[in-house]
Structures are given as C-alpha cells and as structure tokens.
Structure 1
Amino acid sequence: MLQALLHLFYPHACEGCGHELSRTEKILCIRCSLRLPVTGFQKFAQNPVERIFWGRVPIQHATAGYFFNQQGILQSLIHGFKYRKREDIALFLGRQLGFQLKESAWWKDITALVPVPLHAAKFRHRGYNQAALLAEGMAEVLKCGVWANGLKRTVFTDTQTRKSRTDRWDNVENIFAWNRKEPNGREHLLLVDDVMTTGATLEACAHAVLQAGEQAKISVCALACGGR
C-alpha cells in the first residue's frame, strides 16, 4: 500500500514509453533501454569518433555511448536533463556510460573524469552542469575521481546547435582554460560531454589541457554523437 501511495504522488513511469517501471528499473524500462542506439565504439580503436580528432589534437581514445537521432528516446532524455531540471536522468545515463566503458580495454588507465564546463552565467541559470552529472554517474561505476572544476569556460558563447561546422570551431576557440595544477605525464584524463557533433568543443578542451601540461594523456567520451 505504501508503494502504491508513493507511485500515486511520485509516478514511477518509464521516460520512454510511460509504462510503470518495476522495482528494479530506473528511468527506463528494459524494453526502452534496449531501444537506445548504442554505438559500441568503446570496444575498438579507429572508430568514427576517434577519426574525428585525427590530425587535430593528440588523444589516446575517443568514444560516444549512443547515436543521437531526432525524435528518439535519447533526445527526450537529453532534453529532460538539459531543460527540465532532471538531474536524475543525467546521473542514470552517466552510469550507463560507465558500464559501457568497462567493456573497453583502456578504462582502468583513467586517472580522473573532467567534464566540459559551463560558463558561470549559464551555470547559474541552469543550476548544474549536465556534463558534470554525467561524469558523476560514470565515476560511480568506474570508481575514479571527477575533477568538476578541472576546466573553466572563460567566455560566454551561444549554443552550438544551429551553427555550421566552421562556426562551431570559431565559437569555442580559446574559450577554455585549465583550472588546476599543471597535469603531468602520469595522468590520463577523460573529457566528458553530452552531445558531440563536430568535436569542436572537446577539441578546444583538449588543447586547453595540453597547453597547461604537454605530457598529459587525454581521452574523450560523449554521451551521444551524430546519427548512424
């Protein structure tokens, strides 16, 4: 009866199909979880996400957990944590990314997760950094640290959503700075972001880390990348 009353006031429904979740399910039912377009990129080198960065910035590994498709379940989930204050969704998806990374051959080498930062003004408006929440969820699974303030955004920029490839690069060039002690060659940092299209934002973050400590090892992980 208590569980029924809790469900009445706090609906325990799947974010994908709206059906009631079982006691062991979180955010999505099993059927909707299986419908998410998983990339599997973390399992092999020279995957499409890694190739985006070839010749642009030296990285160890690159991956994205899911393909981003318009009007899909994943888009709805991303809108939930970016625009509807659903921090729980970001943490849930971060945990899924963590489980995916544990299928790779390189995750144990990661020293810390470094989320792509928001500008202070945007952080105040939203109340949290969604990339940092993704990193927190990942860290729960991977048992590693999160350097939430490792990078800072020094310039406020417009959203990347409707910009061309060239404009995306121009929009983020030289807007990030390393905000901790100088990285050393023993550290392997995993940069974390929500949606990656051209890779311009993650590339700019990687350059900011390398400018602070040239010996640092860097990998990147996005929740989602462009469609199939």
Structure 2
Amino acid sequence: MNLIEAARSFVHIFFPHCCAGCGDDILSHEQLLCLSCMGRLPLTNFHHYADNPIQHIFRGRLPLIHATSYVYFTKDSLLQHLMHQFKYNNRQQIGSWFGRRIGEALTASPGFTMPDALIPVPLFAARERKRGYNQAHILCTGMAESMGIPIWNNIVIRATSTATQTHKNRIQRWQNMEGRFHLQDAAAIRGRHLLLVDDVITTGATLEACGQALLSAGNVQLSIATMGFASR
C-alpha cells in the first residue's frame, strides 16, 4: 500500500463515505451507490426509443424532438428514498450524480440530437430560497458536465406559487399550473433546441405549462428529460 492509499484508508476510518441507498461504507469518494443499489435502479432505457411512454404523455399537447426519463419512480422504492434525500435533506450530490448519468445516457444514444442548452424547470423564488436550491438545476449541472452544453437560467420563471400537485388528477394539475410560467427572454431562444429538465414526471402538467411558455418564443425546438417517471 502506497502513502496515498494509506492516507485514504485512514481518512475513511474517521469519515466513511457511505452508499446513499443502503448506508454501506465500502465506497470510494467518487461513488454514490454500491453495486447492489446500482443494480436495484429500475432504468427505463426510454432514450433508446422514439415512441416511448414519455412521448405518449405529451402527444397532442407539446411538439417534442425527444422525451425521456432515466428511472421508474415507485412508492417506497430506492429511488423515492434517494429523491427524498435529494430534495429535502440537502443531498445535492445525488442530483448531480443522476444528472451525469442522464447526460451520459443521452450522449451515447445514436438517435439523440444534442440540444443547444439545458433549461431547468424553475421553482417559485420563495420556495427556492427556503430549500436553498432548485433540484432541476442541480440535475442540469451534472448533465452539463456530461454533455458539454450550457445551462440557461432565468429564460423562464415561475411567477407565482402553486398548491401541491399531490392527489390531483391530470386536469386539476394542468389547471393548477396554467399560466404559472412567464418567458423572460424570447429572443435568446429563438432558433434553438432546448432540453427542459425536471426531477419527476407524473401527468406532465408542470412540464407542459413550462414547455408552452418556451415554445411561445417561436421557432423553438423542445425536448424533455427527467430523473424519474412515476407511471400510473
């Protein structure tokens, strides 16, 4: 064992780096999940298929170039556990890790057309201040690292707060989101292909409302990617 390896072992004794899924402490600092938890992630592989369930959600609602989600989101699952840590326990490294995985998957997909920029779905300003970050933006930081494209913030803003979407049906969710997003800089995105990013998609109401605000600029191509897909 060389001095660097010995130093790392010493540090690990007092500051163990644990798996974000199961708590196992055998990980290096470059890893987020152990091999067992990695194998438990239910990957969708939607990025390999043009006619996938995410495309179906938005058919007739938004004209999309690509649409995908990285993993299936189900109740009491590993992903729900990770998502809760990411959104509510300040574990931002979970979001950036998933962002890198999403970006790597999209970049390696032969049918994927690289966008000009990433657009994180914005939070209402007061909610972002309370949380300290926008989870969609954290995902974008990892994706930008893998894809080599910029993140464009403040192109669209969430002008007002919204009631929780939990327990609402698709129509109620759309009514809850309608008119909540305002386009700030239409000129900056005309003629561009944008990848709109959020954490989880259920009915697609939030992404639809935000996507329509972006498309209102005119001559915009739109794609969508999320970390999780909560199928019903």
2:138 partner letter:
L
2:68 partner letter:
T
2:60 is the alignment partner of 1:55? yes
2:57 is the alignment partner of 1:42? no
Map of 1:168 onto structure 2 = 173
What is the correspondence of 1:96-115 to structure 2 with a 5 Å cutoff? 96-115=101-120
1:226 partner letter:
A
TM-score by length of structure 1 reads 0.93
Map of 1:218 onto structure 2 = 222
Indicate the percent of aligned positions where both proteins have the same amino acid. 44
Match of residue 184, structure 1, among 155, 174, 190: 190
2:226 partner letter:
A
1:225 deviation in Å?
0.7
Structure 1 vs Structure 2 CA RMSD: 1.7
Instruction: Provide the aligned length of Structure 1 versus Structure 2.
Output: 226
TM-score by length of structure 2 reads 0.91
1:5 deviation in Å?
4.5
Query: Alignment partner of 1:113: what SS?
Result: strand
Question: Following the alignment from structure 1 to structure 2, what is the Cα–Cα distance between the partners of residues 189 and 175?
Answer: 19
Query: Alignment partner of 1:191: what SS?
Result: strand
The alpha-carbon distance between structure 1 residues 169 and 206, as it changes in their structure 2 partners (threshold 3 A), is same
Question: Following the alignment from structure 2 to structure 1, what is the Cα–Cα distance between the partners of residues 130 and 16?
Answer: 27
1:210 deviation in Å?
1.2
Match of residue 65, structure 1, among 48, 52, 70: 70
1:3 deviation in Å?
2.7
Map of 1:119 onto structure 2 = 124
The alpha-carbon distance between structure 1 residues 9 and 118, as it changes in their structure 2 partners (threshold 3 A), is farther
Matched-pair contact (CA < 8 Å) for 2:121–2:196: yes
- Once the two structures are overlaid, the 10-residue window that deviates more, 104-113 or 77-86, is 104-113
Matched-pair contact (CA < 8 Å) for 1:42–1:103: no
1:121 deviation in Å?
0.4
1:204 deviation in Å?
0.5
Matched-pair contact (CA < 8 Å) for 1:153–1:175: yes
Question: Following the alignment from structure 2 to structure 1, what is the Cα–Cα distance between the partners of residues 205 and 186?
Answer: 24
The alpha-carbon distance between structure 1 residues 21 and 139, as it changes in their structure 2 partners (threshold 3 A), is farther
